[in-house]
Amino acid sequence: MIFGVPNMTTLARSLPADTRSFQTIQTHLQQDHVIILPMATVYSFVVNGTSPRAIAKLRRLKHFSTEQPLAILTRGDRAAEVADLSQEAKTLLAHFPYPVTMIVKGKPHLDPQIMQGFDCVYLACPDRFIYDLVGALPFFLVAATVKVGTELIVSFEDAQKYYGEQVPLIVDGGRCAYGRRGTLVDFTLEYPTIMNFGPVSVDDLRPILPNIILPSHLMK
């Protein structure tokens, strides 16, 4: 309170993480807003991937320390819109939703702000809420993890606490089931390669991708 005037700060609107929220989510994204969505992995900033203005807003809010491609939220029947896919990549996509993030070649028509000079993008769809949302929207989604410093945001309460005054909408998914990023698999190399561990192990992936390998720095 300043000079007897109440603090009129407006916090983000909250909605439940289910299909009833899809129309409001779409409206916010069509207005080029950055919103925060819950995933089984972590909470993420999300924008309309066809809007350069919205993507620029996301990059300003995220404060990347180094240049890197953004993630695209997709599923098997939509991924070809944004990426060139090997047969092995298509095989893993058929298992989405799955807490795995895929590195693949991006389509040249993508906004340059998505790829930032790289020729690849990250594809993700860790849970059913995101899978169904992607299928319901007429445009693709671009995303980046929500963090405070180096700490990932994995609960609605923390998302609202740290970013409730900076975005207009935060969808409430409670606490993330995994609370960590998805397992990262690179499909731009000769063989699918796990780059970072997450909820899905190499033993989980080998029945799907028999040729998957671990780089030396991840081998015990």
18-68 confidence digits (pLDDT tens): 999 999 999 999 999 999 999 999 999 999 999 999 999 999 999 887 788
Which residue has better confidence, 68 or 200?
200
Task: Look up tokens 């909250």; give the residue.
Answer: 14
What's the pLDDT score for residue 4?
46
Query: Which whole number is the average pLDDT over 144-163?
Result: 96
Kindly list the distances between the CA atom of residue 196 and the CA atoms of 19, 100, 201, 216, 218, in Å, as whole numbers in the listed order: 32, 10, 10, 12, 8
Beta bridge partners of 134: none
Task: Say how far apart CA 41 and CA 181 lie, in whole Å.
Answer: 5
Task: Look up tokens 């945001």; give the residue.
Answer: 153
At 89, the amino acid letter reads A
